[in-house]
Structure 1
Amino acid sequence: MTDITPTGSTADQSENPDAPLLEVRDLEVRFRTTHGEVKAVENASFSLPRGSALAIVGESGSGKSTTAMACIGLLPTNGEVVSGSIMFEGQDLAHLPEAKMRAIRGRAIGLVPQDPMSNLNPVTKIGTQVGETLLVHGMATRKNVKQRVIEVLTAAGLPDAGERAKQYPHEFSGGMRQRALIAIGLACQPRLLIADEPTSALDVTVQRTILDQIDSMTEQLGTSVLLITHDLGLAAERASQLVVMHRGRVVEAGPAEQLLNDPQHPYTQSLVRAAPSVAAVRLRPGAFTVDTATRQKLAEEAFAGHEAGHESAHGPQHGGGTGVPGVGTSGTGSHAASSSERPVAAGQEQSSAPANIVEIRDLTKVYRRRGSKDDFYAVKDVTLDVPRGQTVAIVGESGSGKTTTARMLLKLIEPTSGSMMFDGMDVAALDKAQLNDFRQRVQPIFQDPYSSLNPMFTIERIVEEPLNTYKRGSRKERTARVRELMDQVSLPHNALRRYPAELSGGQRQRVAIARALALQPELIVCDEPVSALDVLVQAQILELLGDLQSELGLSYLFISHDLAVVRLISDYVCVMKDGELVEAASSEEVFQNPRHPYTRRLLASIPGNELEIDEDLAS
Structure 2
Amino acid sequence: MKDASAMNVKEMRMDGQPLLQVSGLAVDFATMDGVVHAVEGVDLEIAPGETVAIVGESGSGKSTTAMAVIGLLASGGRVAGGSIRLDGRELVGASESELRQIRGRDIGMVPQDPMSNLNPVAKIGTQVAETLLAHGLATRGDVKQKVIEALSAAGLPDPERRAKQYPHELSGGLRQRALIAIGLACRPRLLIADEPTSALDVTVQQTILDQLDEMTRELGTAVLLITHDLGLAAERAQRVVVMHRGRVVEQGDARQILEDPQHPYTQSLVSAAPSIAAARLQPEVFDASTGSATQGLGGAEDGAPRASDVAAGDHIVEIEGLRKVYPVRGRGDDFVAVDDVSLAIPRGKTVAIVGESGSGKTTTARMLLKLIEPTAGTIRFEGHDIATLDKAQAREFRQRVQPIFQDPYSSLNPMFTIGRLIGEPLEFYKRGNRAERRARVLKLLDDVALPASMMQRYPAELSGGQRQRVAIARALALSPDLIVCDEPVSALDVLVQDQILTLLGDLQKEYGLSYLFISHDLAVVRLISDYVCVMKDGALVEAATSEEIFTNPRDPYTRRLLSSIPGNELGIAS
TM normalised by structure 1 equals: 0.75
Contact 2:323 2:377 in 1 (8 A): yes
1:392 aligns with 2:393: no
Equivalent position of 1:174 in the other structure = 175
Cα 1:96–1:545, aligned 2, differ >3 Å: closer, same or farther? same
The 5 Å alignment of 1:189-200 reads 190-200=188-198
Equivalent position of 1:212 in the other structure = 210
Task: For 1:558 and 1:162, locate their aligned partners in 2 and report how far apart those are by CA, in whole Å.
Answer: 30
SS at match of 1:198: coil
- The one-letter code of the counterpart of 1:270 is S
Task: For 1:143 and 1:439, locate their aligned partners in 2 and report how far apart those are by CA, in whole Å.
Answer: 51
Equivalent position of 2:256 in the other structure = 258
The 5 Å alignment of 1:479-490 reads none
SS at match of 2:502: helix
Contact 1:126 1:168 in 2 (8 A): no
SS at match of 2:358: coil
Contact 1:379 1:580 in 2 (8 A): yes
The 5 Å alignment of 1:530-569 reads 530-569=489-528
Distance apart, 1:216 and its partner CA: 0.9
Task: For 1:147 and 1:446, locate their aligned partners in 2 and report how far apart those are by CA, in whole Å.
Answer: 34
Contact 2:413 2:421 in 1 (8 A): yes
1:329 aligns with 2:288: no
- The one-letter code of the counterpart of 2:27 is V
Out of 59, 62, 73, the residue aligned to residue 60 of structure 2 is 62
Contact 2:176 2:196 in 1 (8 A): no
Cα 1:464–1:88, aligned 2, differ >3 Å: closer, same or farther? closer
Contact 1:174 1:202 in 2 (8 A): no
Cα 1:283–1:74, aligned 2, differ >3 Å: closer, same or farther? same
Equivalent position of 1:414 in the other structure = 373
Answer with 470-479 or 63-72: which moved more.
470-479
SS at match of 2:374: coil
1:361 aligns with 2:320: yes
Contact 2:108 2:183 in 1 (8 A): no
1:153 aligns with 2:150: yes
Report Cα offsets for 1:569-616 as digits up to 9, x if no partner.
111100111211111011121122222222222222323233245xxx
Identity of aligned residues (%): 63
Matched pairs, number:
546
SS at match of 1:244: strand
Task: For 2:106 and 2:537, locate their aligned partners in 1 and report how far apart those are by CA, in whole Å.
Answer: 42
Out of 486, 491, 497, the residue aligned to residue 527 of structure 1 is 486
Cα 1:443–1:155, aligned 2, differ >3 Å: closer, same or farther? closer
- The one-letter code of the counterpart of 1:60 is S
SS at match of 1:539: helix
Answer with 217-226 or 386-395: which moved more.
217-226
Answer with 74-83 or 198-207: which moved more.
74-83
Task: For 1:529 and 1:15, locate their aligned partners in 2 and report how far apart those are by CA, in whole Å.
Answer: 40
Out of 265, 269, 282, the residue aligned to residue 279 of structure 2 is 282
Contact 2:128 2:182 in 1 (8 A): no
1:444 aligns with 2:403: yes
Task: For 1:414 and 1:430, locate their aligned partners in 2 and report how far apart those are by CA, in whole Å.
Answer: 13
Task: For 1:178 and 1:454, locate their aligned partners in 2 and report how far apart those are by CA, in whole Å.
Answer: 23
Larger Rg belongs to: 1
Distance apart, 1:419 and its partner CA: 2.7
- The one-letter code of the counterpart of 2:273 is A
Contact 1:441 1:523 in 2 (8 A): yes
The 5 Å alignment of 1:371-390 reads 371-390=330-349
SS at match of 1:207: helix
Equivalent position of 1:312 in the other structure = none
Distance apart, 1:522 and its partner CA: 2.5
Cα 1:104–1:406, aligned 2, differ >3 Å: closer, same or farther? closer
Task: For 1:392 and 1:337, locate their aligned partners in 2 and report how far apart those are by CA, in whole Å.
Answer: 11
Structure 1: which 5+ residue stretches go unaligned?
1-12, 286-320, 340-353
Cα 1:451–1:67, aligned 2, differ >3 Å: closer, same or farther? closer
- The one-letter code of the counterpart of 1:71 is V
- The one-letter code of the counterpart of 1:66 is T
Task: For 2:279 and 2:104, locate their aligned partners in 1 and report how far apart those are by CA, in whole Å.
Answer: 44
Equivalent position of 2:6 in the other structure = none
SS at match of 1:532: coil
1:228 aligns with 2:226: yes
SS at match of 2:52: strand
Task: For 1:410 and 1:77, locate their aligned partners in 2 and report how far apart those are by CA, in whole Å.
Answer: 37
Task: For 1:118 and 1:162, locate their aligned partners in 2 and report how far apart those are by CA, in whole Å.
Answer: 22
Equivalent position of 1:347 in the other structure = none
SS at match of 2:205: helix
Task: For 1:101 and 1:481, locate their aligned partners in 2 and report how far apart those are by CA, in whole Å.
Answer: 47
Report Cα offsets for 1:416-468 as digits up to 9, x if no partner.
33233333334444455554544443333333456445556666665555556
Task: For 2:25 and 2:433, locate their aligned partners in 1 and report how far apart those are by CA, in whole Å.
Answer: 57
Distance apart, 1:249 and its partner CA: 0.8
SS at match of 1:443: strand
- The one-letter code of the counterpart of 2:198 is S
Contact 2:53 2:227 in 1 (8 A): yes
Cα 1:185–1:323, aligned 2, differ >3 Å: closer, same or farther? farther
Report Cα offsets for 1:39-94 as digits up to 9, x if no partner.
23211112223432211112333222332333344445754433333344444444
1:603 aligns with 2:571: no
The 5 Å alignment of 1:131-150 reads 131-135=132-136, 146=143, 149=146
Equivalent position of 1:129 in the other structure = 130
Task: For 1:490 and 1:422, locate their aligned partners in 2 and report how far apart those are by CA, in whole Å.
Answer: 32
Distance apart, 1:382 and its partner CA: 0.9
Distance apart, 1:244 and its partner CA: 0.7
Equivalent position of 2:246 in the other structure = 248
Cα 1:43–1:456, aligned 2, differ >3 Å: closer, same or farther? closer
Distance apart, 1:523 and its partner CA: 2.1
Cα 1:47–1:501, aligned 2, differ >3 Å: closer, same or farther? closer
Task: For 2:220 and 2:415, locate their aligned partners in 1 and report how far apart those are by CA, in whole Å.
Answer: 51
Equivalent position of 1:4 in the other structure = none
Task: For 2:264 and 2:469, locate their aligned partners in 1 and report how far apart those are by CA, in whole Å.
Answer: 25
Cα 1:587–1:279, aligned 2, differ >3 Å: closer, same or farther? closer
SS at match of 2:365: helix
